Amino acid sequence: MILPAYDTLQTTWDGNHVLQVTLNRPEAGNAINTQMGHDLLDLWRRLTDDPGSARCVVITGSGDKIFCAGGDLKERNGMSKQQWQSQHELFERMFWTLVDLPLPVIAAVNGHAYAGGLELALCCDFIYAARGIRFALTEVTLGIMPGSGGTQNLPRALGDRRAKEILLTGKPFNSQQASEWGLVNALHEQGETLSEALATARVIAGNAPLSVRQIKKSVRYGGQMELRTAYRFEVEAYNHLIETKDRYEGVLAFNEKRKPVFRGE
């Protein structure tokens, strides 16, 4: 799969099936400006329409201090209401296209993640983080509020009471707290977060691609249903895999005591 050269992103392949996406505005704390909104939306759309050989995505930030500082407030300074809303509508499309992406996405949070930067990580399937970094949703201190899923994804990750404290105070919390509260899956030493996320992505990419996508879909949509309906949704997702070539290959490889070769078919 050939991707365009983006102004604000770097895309590199780790092997044949893992795509690394790096937010690449280190001079601005990898803040999300209008161009990055366009770049990320284009990337997520391409991966949705035709992922090619991609089976898992890892997103990280350029440098080792800031994963993403959120929306670019310097660009926003002086914007009219129409300009602000138009930009935010772009961001909304970008975030929701990420949430809807069939491929799993791991956030390798290698530096501080504030406001929209934390919301970006929360829209991923799970998070690996570096020790010693900080997270925050600071919008309330700026006269706005999270508008890219923060008031929905954070309570689902931490529970209402903890999330409301974070959202209403705007106060930062550290990665150790994030780990204890269940926001991040694992903590790693500074400089190792990305490599650990890529290692996990390679494991995921080695599994049956159609199975991975059906699992992601089942977890996401099943979580929004009452339990009995969610069970039925899971079974329908399961039944979709029975006649795939990868299912035959997986069972055959098990019986032949070899590693399966999955092709996403």
User: Which residue, 103, 59, 57, is CA-closest to 209?
Assistant: 103
**Where are any strands of DSSP class E within the chain?**
9-14, 18-23, 56-61, 66-68, 105-109, 112-114, 126-130, 134-136, 173-174, 186-188
Return the HEC string of 144-203.
Answer: CCCCCCHHHHHHHHHCHHHHHHHHHHCCCEEHHHHHHCCCCCEEECCCCHHHHHHHHHHH
Q: Is 92 a catalytic residue?
A: no
Catalytic residue among 27, 89, 92, 139: 139
- Are 68 and 32 a contacting pair, CB within 8 Å? yes
Residue pair 163/139 in contact (Cβ under 8 Å)? The answer is no
- Among the listed residues 94, 107, 100, 113, the one whose alpha carbon sits nearest the alpha carbon of residue 42: 94
User: What's the CA gap between 71 and 69, in Å, rounded?
Assistant: 7
* Residue 196 annotated to the active site: no
Q: Which of 75, 89, 92, 119 is catalytic?
A: 119
Residues annotated as catalytic are: 119, 139
